[in-house]
Amino acid sequence: MSIREAAWLVACVVGATACADPIPLARQVCAQTAECASGYHCAPDGKCRGDIACATDAHCCLAERCLDQRCRPRQQCASSVPCAEPGSVCTANLCVPRPCGIETPCPRGRACVLGRCSLHRPCGGHCAPGHACARLVDRCVAASATPACKPGELAVFSAEEGLLREGCRERDASTVCAALPPLPAGDVGLPAAAAIAGGKVHVLAYDATYGDVILTRYAAGPPFAPIDAVALAGVPTNAVVVGDPTGPRGGVAEVGADVGRVLDIAAGAKGGLWATWRDDTADAIGVARIEADGTRMRHLLGSGIGAGAALAIAVLPDGRPVVASFANGRAAPPGRPSRLTLHVAKTATAQAATDWSEVPLASDLASPVHLPCGATCTSLQACVVAGGTAACVARTQGCAGCLPTQVCAGGVCRTPAVGPAPVDAVPEGRGSWLDVTALADGRVAVAAYRAGSGDVAVWTGKPGAPFQATVISRASVPDTPADFGRFVHIMENPPGKWTLACEDTTHGRLLLVRDTAAGVSVTVVDDGLRADGRHRVGADVGFARHTSGALLLAYQDARRGDLWTARIAKPAAEPVRALLADEGAHGFSTQVLPAGAKAWIVVATRIVADVDGRIRPRVDLRDVVWAGE
Residue 425 confidence class, pLDDT cut points 50, 70, 90: very low
pLDDT digits (tens, 9 = 90+) for 138-154: 889 888 878 889 999 99
Higher pLDDT, 131 or 19: 131
Question: Mean pLDDT across the stretch 133-141?
Answer: 88
CA distance 395 to 386: 13
Residue of 569, 575, 570, 603 whose CA lies nearest to 588: 603
Task: Report the pLDDT value the prediction gives residue 611, as an integer from 0 to 100.
Answer: 67
Q: Of 489, 402, 398, 388, which Cα lies nearest the Cα of 446? A: 489
At residue 376, the 3 state secondary structure works out as coil
Sign of torsion, CA 362 363 364 366? positive
pLDDT at 23: 42
Is residue 243 helix, strand or coil? coil
Residues with Cβ within 8 Å of 431's Cβ and at least 6 positions away in sequence, in order, are 310, 324, 325, 326, 338, 339, 340, 361, 362, 448, 449, 450
Does 601 score more than 50 pLDDT? yes
Instruction: Return the exposure string of 525-560: e unless at least 16 CB atoms fall within 10 Å of the residue's CB, then b.
Output: bbbbeeeeeebbbbbbbbbbbbeeebbbbbbbbbeb
Cα–Cα distance, 305 to 364 (Å, whole number): 14
Mean pLDDT of 124-144: 88
Q: Is 20 left (phi over 0), alpha (psi -120 to 50) or beta?
A: alpha
Q: Which of 179-188, 367-376, 500-509 has the lowest mean pLDDT?
A: 367-376
| CA nearest neighbour of 151 among 231, 230, 235, 241 | 241
Q: Which residue has the higher pLDDT, 75 or 322?
A: 322
Looking at the DSSP assignment, which residues form a beta bridge with residue 362? 340
| Of 77 and 204, more confident | 204
More confident residue, 115 or 295: 115
The single-letter DSSP state of residue 35 is G
- pLDDT score of 409 more than 50: yes
| Length of the chain measured in residues | 629
The pLDDT score that the predictor gives to residue 329 is 60
pLDDT class for 337, splitting at 50, 70, 90? low
Shortest CA distance to 605 belongs to which of 584, 624, 626?
Answer: 584
For the whole model, what pTM was predicted? 0.80
Q: What is the side-by-side strand order in the sheet with 131-134?
A: 139-142, 131-134, 153-157, 175-179
| The pLDDT of residue 80 is above 90 | no
Range with lowest mean pLDDT among 24-38, 65-79, 364-378: 364-378
At 557 the pLDDT is 93
In DSSP notation, 172-231 reads: ---EEEEEPPPPPPP-EEEEEEEEEETTEEEEEEEETTTTEEEEEEEESSTT--EEEEEE
Place 451 in a pLDDT band, splitting at 50, 70 and 90.
Answer: confident
Query: Residue 199 is which amino acid?
Result: G
pLDDT of residue 443: 95
> Does the pLDDT at position 269 exceed 90?
no
Cβ atoms of residues 163 and 173 within 8 Å: yes
Q: What DSSP string describes 319-331?
A: S-EEEEEEE-GGG
Whole-number pLDDT of residue 285: 94
At residue 363, the pLDDT reads 80
DSSP state of 427: P
Q: Is the pLDDT of residue 1 over 50?
A: no
Contact 563, 592 (CB under 8 A): no
**Would the pLDDT of 354 be above 80?**
yes
Is there a contact between 501 and 471 (Cβ–Cβ < 8 Å)? no
Amino acid at 606: R
User: According to the per-residue pLDDT averaged within each range, which of 40-49, 177-186, 393-402, 475-484 is highest?
Assistant: 475-484
Q: 121: closest CA among 78, 184, 40?
A: 184
Q: Are 302 and 358 in contact (CB under 8 A)?
A: yes
Q: Which phi and psi angles does 86 have, rounded to 5°? A: -70, 145
pLDDT of residue 432: 66
Residues contacting residue 583 through CB under 8 Å, at least 6 positions apart: none
What does the pLDDT read at residue 27?
58
Average pLDDT, stretch 288-304?
84
In this predicted structure, what is the pLDDT of residue 381? Answer: 84
What percentage of the chain has pLDDT greater than the value 70? 89
The more confidently predicted of residues 591 and 293 is 591
- How much is the average pLDDT of 74-91? 85
- Residue range 280-295: average pLDDT? 88
Residue range 99-115: mean pLDDT, rounded: 85
* Whether pLDDT at 283 is above 70: yes
The average confidence (pLDDT) of the chain is 84
Output the 3-class SS for 437-476.
Answer: EECCCCCEEEEEEECCCCEEEEEEECCCCCCEEEEECHHH
Q: Is 138 left (phi over 0), alpha (psi -120 to 50) or beta?
A: left
**Any residues with CB less than 8 A from the CB of 228 and at least 6 apart, and which?**
216, 217
Beta strands in 310-406 (DSSP E): 310-315, 321-327, 337-345, 356-365, 381-386, 389-394
DSSP characters over 46-67: SBEEE--B-SSGGGS-TTEEEE
Give the separation between CA 351 and CA 301, rounded to whole angstroms: 10
Share above pLDDT 90 across residues of the chain, in percent, rounded to a whole number = 45
